[in-house]
Amino acid sequence: MKHISSQPDAAKFRSIVVVILVLICISLFLVYTNRWERALEDVSVERVINNLNSALSVTTYQYIIKNKQQSLVGLDGENPFVYLAIHSNLPVNYYGTRDSKDNDVNGGWFFVKKDGLLYYRYKDKKRIRAYRVKFYYQDVNETGKFEMATDRNYYLKMEESTQ
């Protein structure tokens, strides 16, 4: 009875099969590594947004304490990293204010003043997310504008924008 190992070229066949299996394992590893990297980058973005929301809350409370609530309206659409810098450290991948969202930023945050938007460009340069500081309030007398004497529940919050 002949075994496969006694056949001519059996060693070559085994070597080819092993190489193919190793290549399949490497390609699966690279696919899953890429997915994990994107997921970690998403978590990092959400963490920065949460930190910005905390800084905006502190800023809101400071304005209330100083009785400058009316000035909160002017912060709508402003660069939120200004307020984060007061209370915490800026992310290492914050590149400041840019003229447009079409720039060379690779994997980082930047603010475009004319849009009033904070952008995050992913490291793959294919995806970009936009956020803005939004002033929310309960318009009690339904005038369509903020009036400190009558309106309530005012706060600043980061809002994702559709650009």
Residue 73 scores a pLDDT above 90: no
Say how far apart CA 87 and CA 32 lie, in whole Å: 37
User: Does any domain span residue 1?
Assistant: no
Which residue in the block uniquely carries the two structure tokens 């945050």? 109
Alpha helices (runs of H) in 7-76, residue ranges in sequence order: 10-65
Q: How many domains does the chain have?
A: 1
Q: 2 lies in a domain?
A: no
Span 5-40, pLDDT tens digits: 667 777 888 889 899 999 998 998 888 888 888 889
Q: Range of 72's domain?
A: 8-161
- Name the nearest CA neighbour of 42 among 124, 122, 161, 113: 122
Is 91 domain-assigned? Answer: yes
Does residue 99 lie in a domain region? Answer: yes
User: At residue 159, does pLDDT exceed 80?
Assistant: yes
**In the beta sheet, which residues pair with residue 97?**
111
pTM: 0.75
pLDDT tens sequence across 92-138: 888 888 888 877 777 899 999 999 999 999 888 788 899 999 888 78
- Does residue 84 form part of some domain? yes
